[in-house]
Amino acid sequence: MTHEFKTPISTIALASDVLMRDDIIQNPERLKHYATIISEENQRLKNQVESVLQVSQIDSHKIALNLVEIDMNQLIQRIIKNFEPRISELNGKLELHLDAKKSKIEGDEIHITNILYNLLDNAIKYCDKTPLIIVTTANKHRGLEISVKDNGKGISKQSQKMIFEKFFRVPSGNLHDVKGFGLGLFYVKNMMKLHKGKITLQSSIGVGTMFTLWFHNKK
């Protein structure tokens, strides 16, 4: 789960670099934007401390979810704003197609946020070109479907069978450019189960990957 901490830390670092530029003081709106990002990511780090403690309890099924009403279209928009500095740094593009008319679910906001951060973080980390990430929401199969699509390296058919297993990492030969312990997608899969949802995967080598989440809509 190390990238659970590295993601907000790197975002805070990028936002801090912008705030230290001489010209930022002349643009109060941008100053406030980046200061807000730092504040939100700092809060996310605090939440992660508690989340990691809970992750250690996944196998023992002792996690208690704090279920609240969540508007996923709104949550995604907030999360995307915090990814903008990283995407901008890579000259990438992040598209939103929030088409779901019924976008509310019942879930644990901390864990749902972590799920989306995992998928977006991986979409950036496992891209070997200028990143293009497309996030879509739609009402399908009597629920809410959220997809995160990238144009990254892709995942082989063999690795797709094991991608959600604990400690599994996609083989990269002698390359070790992406760090981690292979717990992120294991966490995502189990959190989706706890939320009585589903996660599916489509991927092609050299083309990219799309993860799709499905939740029950809040009644």
CA torsion sign, 134 to 137 to 140 to 144? Answer: positive
Side-chain half-sphere of 24: how many Cα atoms within 13 Å? 13
pLDDT of the residue at 40: 84
pLDDT single digits (tens) 144-164: 999 999 999 899 888 888 888
H or E segment at 213?
strand 208-216
The pTM assigned to this predicted structure is: 0.75
Where exactly are the structural domains of the chain? 2-216
Superfamily of chain region 2-216: Histidine kinase-like ATPase, C-terminal domain (3.30.565.10)
pLDDT of the residue at 2: 63
- The answer to whether the CB of 198 falls within 8 A of the CB of 211 is no
d(CA 51, CA 110): 8
- The answer to whether the CB of 203 falls within 8 A of the CB of 209 is yes
Give me the helix-helix angle, 72-89 and 2-19, nearest 10°.
70
pLDDT single digits (tens) 77-117: 999 998 988 898 899 999 999 999 999 999 999 889 989 99
Mark the ranges of the chain whose per-residue pLDDT is less than 50: 174-176, 179, 181
pLDDT of the residue at 132: 96
Residue 199 pairs in a beta bridge with 213
H or E segment at 191?
helix 184-194
Quick one: residue 196, left, alpha or beta (phi over 0 = left, psi -120 to 50 = alpha)? Answer: left
